[in-house]
Structure 1
Amino acid sequence: MPSKNIHSFSGRRFPCQQCPLRALPAFRELAKTELAFVNTFKKGELAVEKGTAVLVEGSHSAHLYTVLSGWSFRYKLLSDGRRQILNYVMPGDLIGLQGSVMGEMQHSVEALSAMLLCVFEREQLPELYRKHPGLAYDITWLAAREERMLDENLLSVGRRSALERAAYLIAFIAARAKGVGLDTRRQVRIPITQQHVADTLGLSLVHTNKTLRKLTARGLIVWQEGGCEVVDAAKLQELAGWEGIGEDRRPLL
């Protein structure tokens, strides 16, 4: 979708064979033929500014994207403007597949930070499915993974206490971020506001603030301008009663 905050590059900064994400242990290695196809499937890169609507609910998009760098979140809005954040998007994640399969987006995606996106044309998806069953399985795997994460998030919102919900959310985001190299000095800094947390957990902003202060008092997080710094992810996970992500190497388009 055209936007003054989205800028296309005239060339590629990162050919698929030189993708910096492929060196990370979180992602499985592609066969040479698969990598060659992905390189032709990719049509370019987009630079996205913080706050940009990358995809909008109800819109049709000719593209789908893999996040090369940066953070964003998926959300839905009620008619009165109330927002439910569904999940958070990080490097290696595929976005826009729903619009490619369903015809139009059923949710929106907004950038939490500056981002760089690899751009793919959805009209080439049939060729991918016909000629590269391994890559087709990868897309199915990514969709199933998203469903599993949503199941866990729904369980948290429905059954965990407010303190457990907040601990789970931050531990969950931190674990995913660490897997794709977003941790610094062995800690993860998450670029979210307390409003983002409230809109994810289904709590009021006041209740969210009180809950996050409890986690801060326990020495598990530090809330600073620009986001949340995770101090003790293991204790957050223990408080939430969450066993962790526990996934093997995953696909990367």
Structure 2
Amino acid sequence: MQLAYMQEYKSGEVFVGRGQHLLKQNTTTDHLYTVLGGVMLRYRTLDDGRRQIVNFLFPGDLIGLQSAFDDEVCHSVEALVDSRLCRFEKQDFHDLIVKHPSLGFDITWLAAKEETALESHLVSLGQRSAKERVTYLAVWLLNRASATGMLEDDNRLTLPIKQAQIADMLGLSLVHTNRTLKALSREGLVDWKPGRIRIADIDKAAKYAEVPRYSKNDRPFI
């Protein structure tokens, strides 16, 4: 019955090509979305153009929850790779919660996990060294890839993340980012090349950056 309701609640699917925007900062939207395939960037921009990437969104992640409460979207969402999303009408959100409280629990769970991820990113920005930040991000991305079936053999993730995007996520200059990536490669911790990330010993890298490995708990999919 819940699955049938979700099919009824769903208003369609959306394709967002690499580099295109799904949402833009300080605008409103009539929809909520779930990532079905691909990876997206969530970021905020200052008036002078500086950008802070706050999260990477993988399949199963919920987008636009603020819109359900008639708030402006406080961030932009851009496709890192070609992405496919399920679209829901925000006007039906209250009805969804009333009719299916278990779905409300799943949405709360997803929001809590998003908050946990943002806390981890904040700790990285405030307390980790440059090498620890990059290692943390690499491990976190591979953890998410593992959870969504995107991780390839040999702890490898194919994802076109540019050095400028790493810098925007970690609060580093582009020069510092480049030097850090080279140092981590020499030390055998993280091999981050254009278009792919590989960590030979992910447990060693996770210990170095003090980041927990991925939990095997099931993740709800809205």
232-241 or 90-99, which deviates more: 232-241
TM-score by length of 1: 0.83
Q: What is residue 140 of structure 1 aligned with on the other side?
A: 108
Q: Which ranges of structure 1 fall in alignment gaps of 5 or more residues?
A: 1-32
Q: What is residue 218 of structure 1 aligned with on the other side?
A: 187
Task: State how far apart, in whole Å, the 2-side matches of 1:88 and 1:208 are.
Answer: 18
Task: State how far apart, in whole Å, the 1-side matches of 2:168 and 2:69 are.
Answer: 27
2:26 aligned with 1:58? yes
Q: What is residue 150 of structure 2 aligned with on the other side?
A: 182
Task: State how far apart, in whole Å, the 2-side matches of 1:120 and 1:231 are.
Answer: 40
Q: What is residue 201 of structure 1 aligned with on the other side?
A: 170
Quote the offset at 1:189 in angstroms. Answer: 2.3
Q: Which ranges of structure 2 fall in alignment gaps of 5 or more residues?
A: none
SS at 1:183 equivalent: coil
Task: State how far apart, in whole Å, the 2-side matches of 1:243 and 1:154 are.
Answer: 15
**For 1:41-79, what per-residue CA distance to the aligned partner results, in whole angstroms no more than 9, with x for missing partners?**
111111111000110111111111111111111000011
Letter in 2 for 1:211: T
SS at 2:49 equivalent: coil
Q: What is residue 29 of structure 1 aligned with on the other side?
A: none
Q: What is residue 197 of structure 2 aligned with on the other side?
A: 228
**For 1:75-111, what per-residue CA distance to the aligned partner results, in whole angstroms no more than 9, with x for missing partners?**
0001100000000001111111122224210111010
- State the Cα RMSD in Å: 1.4
Please say if residues 74 and 85 of structure 1, whose CA atoms lie closer than 8 Å, have aligned partners that are also in contact: yes
Letter in 1 for 2:135: A
Quote the offset at 1:247 in angstroms. Answer: 5.6
Letter in 2 for 1:244: R
In structure 2, the CA distance between the partners of 1:82 and 1:102, relative to structure 1 (3 Å rule), is same
Task: State how far apart, in whole Å, the 1-side matches of 2:53 and 2:200 are.
Answer: 24
Q: What is residue 164 of structure 1 aligned with on the other side?
A: 132
SS at 2:84 equivalent: strand
TM-score by length of 2: 0.94
The within-5 A match list for 1:23-172 is 33-172=1-140
Letter in 1 for 2:133: R
In structure 2, the CA distance between the partners of 1:189 and 1:236, relative to structure 1 (3 Å rule), is farther
In structure 2, the CA distance between the partners of 1:57 and 1:247, relative to structure 1 (3 Å rule), is farther
Quote the offset at 1:231 in angstroms. Answer: 3.5
Identity of counterpart residues, as a percentage? 44
Task: State how far apart, in whole Å, the 2-side matches of 1:172 and 1:63 are.
Answer: 28
Task: State how far apart, in whole Å, the 2-side matches of 1:225 and 1:232 are.
Answer: 20
